[in-house]
Amino acid sequence: MKLPAIVGVPTDDTTQLMKKITAFAPATIANFNVGFDILGLSLGNMGDEITLTPNGTTENKILEIINGDNLPKEADKNCSSVVIRKMQEAQNEFIGVDIVLKKGFSSGSGLGSSSASSAAAAFGYNELIGKPYSTKELVAFAAEGERVACGSAHVDNVAPSLLGGIILSKGNKPSDILELPVLENLYAVTLYPHVKLNTSDSRRILKSTLSVATFSQQVGLMGAFVVSLYEKDYDLFSDSLQDLVIEPMRSLLIPKFKEMKQTALENKALAFGISGSGPSVFAMARGKENAEIIKNALEKIYQNVDISIQTYINPVCKGNGARIIL
């Protein structure tokens, strides 16, 4: 991937750098049923924090990872430090930083864990050095963290983590990152069952071919979904969010999936599906009260199952992406 070159940014005077900065980037739901590898939305209230402190060297050092003992602390292996190094290489200016990363949700949950860390690193470092890049330009850098974590520089998680709202990414260039409208009073209910499900395994299970009839129907649903956002049509939004391609295969890897989907829809969920490659699932609700009802109903399904779960409710709205918090 070609990363954006820096333009018009002073590189000699580092005395104006902030002493320390803390950035936050949210968890995300990728694919969103109808947009495999191109759609994502931000869960703006849960995510990762990263604190960056210039250390007077040309090296980046990970001092601590809070709530992430299983994550690598080597600068060339951790997604957050790799993102920062890519930005330094693009500038040809190596202002080393000490890094403290605080994980706000579980790695391997299917809620964009590596993406949140990568997005927070890109947003925070950009702010630290005077904001030479637009937020859309940061997407390509954050995607390099995904390459380290997952093997490919996909943007369907990092784009909504940086920008917030609902994002359609038809490519990696800033002009390819499209911000879609968001329906009012929209909430996402997510449930993470603590089962191990690797992204590579989730991809391996997918079929390599697709019938023309299924392809045509899925494209129609994707188009209807986009129209529903612009038309503010909740019924069309609900009808369009069907995954005919990925869900039939990946749902087999998620315990109680069919029961959860039926229960969510019976409790007036607008849609239900798999978050990213799983194992987390999501339900969309109109209004917080309905979201609470759906969450409680989903939790009951796992009451007598020997699998621990975590559930969350997050509003979906524009402008709830990465931000500076300190």
Render the burial of 150-173: b for 16+ CB within 10 Å, e for the rest.
beebbbbbbbbbbbbbbbbbeebe
Confirm whether 49 is a catalytic residue: no
The secondary structure element, H or E, covering residue 191 is strand 186-193
- List 49, 137, 144, 146, catalytic entry: 146
Distance, CA of 243 to CA of 298 (rounded, Å)? 20
- Both structure tokens of 288: 């917080």
- Both structure tokens of 263: 């229960």
Decide the pairing of beta strands 281-286 and 271-274: antiparallel
Distance, CA of 86 to CA of 89 (rounded, Å)? 5
Confirm whether 199 is a catalytic residue: yes
Neighbours of 253 (CB within 10 A): 16
Distance, CA of 158 to CA of 27 (rounded, Å)? 9
- List 127, 199, 292, 311, catalytic entry: 199
* Catalytic machinery residues: 146, 199
